[in-house]
Amino acid sequence: MSERNSFKDLIEEYHPMIYKICRVYSTSVDFDDLYQEILISVWKSLPSFQGRSKLSTWLYRVVLNKAMTYQRDQKKYNAKVSIDHIVEMQNEASDYQEKEQQINRLYSAIGQLNKTERSIALLYLDEKTYEEIAEITGLTISNVGVKINRLKKKLFQILKLTNNG
Amino acid sequence: MDEKELFEAWKGNDKNENQVFEQHQDEFTQLAQKQSNDIFSKIKRNIVWEGVLSIIVGVSFPVYFLSNPIFFWIIIVLMVVALLVGIKVYGNYWRDMKQLDDSSLLVSLEKKLAILTRYIKQLKTYLYLFMPLGFFVGAAFALKQEEIDMTRMIVIIALTLPFLGIMLWLGKKYIHALYGKHLKNIEGIYKGLKEK
């Protein structure tokens, strides 16, 4: 199998994870930019995968590393954000599915956490064990537990506020 | 929303995911040509830009001293030494960044921080060493051309010292704009991840 095909297979298999990370670390305006950055990063890092950890652990590290150090192109963002705002308002006005709204609220709540909290929240919501989260992030298991408890409280508080609002 | 609903909402997100995958799956081979917005890619671009600028200055600066062979060769030697030291500083950065393995987020950030901190420190040493050297050789050359006596020469050098101070300050600001602000950004992410 060629390198390109194995890369495509890998992305296909782990696409849901990449998609969620991109959504958490970007807005609808710069989602595509971050998505492409991540794909480039995976493509470039793939030959260096030595199998010392599970493929999913390695991939989480590569993708989160990229997402956390991503900086949006502010000029492009400012130019596009006004149009995006109009589209969002139209979407809200139309008869949006309740489930979709719930997902949007959840992403919006995670988006209010800081960059490192977002990575832990993602791993927690992807139902990774404390051990796996510790392996991906490099934190101790006890520290992972503390961070998850803290961000859970914060997340529910934000969700409560948005529901009331 | 309780914890169970939270997980359900998180999982029930497949429709959008598939749309995005279909939209991008034919673009894979073109992606590598895109300019990256990652902090380290920006630093990489800054290093290349700085290298080009250094070569332009390195080639054009000795032309000023062409009228005096002794000063011309002093400047040539100084430029060659500066170039070799510069190559060493840049080379160390590239080598260290390339050697990064697939470590955890914390270790990876830690290593990148150490590499970037060392790089900035070496750049500052480079600036503090070569800028005054270039300044004094330039000043001595100008004074030699005018054939000024020693006392006046000392007075003029003393008077132009604040100018050197301003140049060094500008150089420091330049390093901060190119690398320092990125370092602070990474430090913030690292501290956020490490804090208990």
Residue at a domain's end among A78, A94, A110: A94
Q: Does residue A90 share a domain with residue A101?
A: no
Q: Does B22 touch chain A (CB under 8 A)?
A: no
Q: How confident is the model at residue A76 (pLDDT cuts 50, 70, 90)?
A: low
Distance in angstroms (rounded) separating the CA atoms of residues A88 and A101: 12
pLDDT of the residue at A86: 44
Same domain, A65 and A120: no
Instruction: Report the alpha-carbon distance of residue A55 to residue A46 in Å, rounded.
Output: 10
Decide if A125 contacts A117 (C-beta within 8 A): no
Contact B32 A15 (CB under 8 A): no
By Cβ distance, the residue of B29, B106, B192 closest to A114 is B192
Which CATH number belongs to the domain containing residue A145 in this structure? 1.10.10.10
Chains A, B: CB pairs < 8 Å: 138
Please give, rounded to a whole number of angstroms, the shortest distance from the CA of A148 to a CA of chain B.
11
Question: Taking 60 as the threshold, does the pLDDT of residue A94 lie above it?
Answer: no
Question: What pLDDT score was predicted for residue A89?
Answer: 46
pLDDT in tens, B68-127: 888 888 888 888 888 888 888 888 888 888 877 778 899 999 999 999 999 999 999 989
Domain that holds residue B133: 39-194
Residue A91's pLDDT band, with cuts at 50, 70 and 90, is low
Confidence band for A130, pLDDT divided at 50, 70 and 90: very high
Nearest CA in chain B to A150: B196
- Write down the pLDDT at residue A119: 94
Confidence of residue A81 (pLDDT cuts 50, 70, 90): low
> With 90 as the cut, is the pLDDT of residue A147 above it?
yes
- Mean pLDDT to the nearest integer, B171-176: 92
Please, what is the end-to-end C-alpha distance for chain B in angstroms? 27
Asked whether the beta carbons of residue A36 and residue B24 sit closer than 8 angstroms, the reply is yes
For residue B24, list chain A residues with Cβ-Cβ distance below 8 A.
Answer: 35-36, 39
| A6: CATH | 1.10.1740.10
Do residues A78 and A111 share a domain? Answer: no
pLDDT at B158: 83
- Residue with tokens 């804090």, as numbered in its chain: B195
**Do B31 and A39 contact (CB within 8 A), yes or no?**
yes
Report if residue B178 sits inside a domain.
Answer: yes
Question: Could you give the number of structural domains in chain A?
Answer: 2
Quick one: what percent of chain B has pLDDT higher than 70?
A: 87
Domains in chain B: how many in total?
1
Same domain, residue pair A50 and A101: no
Q: Which residues of A touch B3 (CB under 8 A)?
A: 152
Quote the pLDDT of residue A2: 66
Does one domain contain both A73 and A121? no
Per-residue pLDDT at A61 exceeds 70 = yes
Side-chain-side CA neighbours of B124 within 13 Å: the count stands at 13
pLDDT in tens, B144-156: 777 777 787 788 7
- Does A108 lie in the same domain as A82? no
pTM above 0.80, yes or no: no
CB contact under 8 A, B196 and A16: no
Verify whether the Cβ–Cβ distance A116 to B189 is below 8 Å: yes
More confident residue, B106 or B1: B106
The residue from A61, A94, A127 where one domain ends is: A94
Do the domain assignments include residue B175? yes
- What is the domain range of residue A104? 97-165
Residue type, A135: E
How sure is the predictor about B184, in pLDDT bands with cuts at 50, 70 and 90? very high
Which residue, among B160, B183, B57, B13, has the nearest Cα to A69 in the 3D structure? B183
Q: Does B133 touch chain A (CB under 8 A)?
A: no
**Arithmetic mean of pLDDT, A20-36:** 88
A104 and A71 fall within a common domain: no
The whole-chain average pLDDT of chain A stands at 82
A4 with A42, same domain? yes
pLDDT of residue A129: 94
ipTM, interface predicted TM-score of the complex = 0.78
Given pLDDT bands bounded at 50, 70 and 90, which one contains residue A84? low
Best probe of the A interface among B4, B5, B6, B182, by most A CBs < 10 A, is B6
Q: Do A7 and B1 touch (CB under 8 A)?
A: no
- A6 and A29, same domain (yes or no): yes
Asked whether residue B14 is assigned to any structural domain, the reply reads: no
**pLDDT beyond 60 at A60:** yes
- Cα–Cα distance, A73 to B94 (Å, whole number): 25
Same domain, A105 and A49: no
- A61 and A103 both lie in a single domain: no
The pLDDT of residue A93 is 46
Does A1 lie in the same domain as A81?
A: yes
A99 contacts on B by Cβ (under 8 Å): 9, 12
Nearest CB neighbour to A69, from listed B16, B24, B40 = B40
Q: Which residues are registered as beta bridge partners of A70?
A: B38
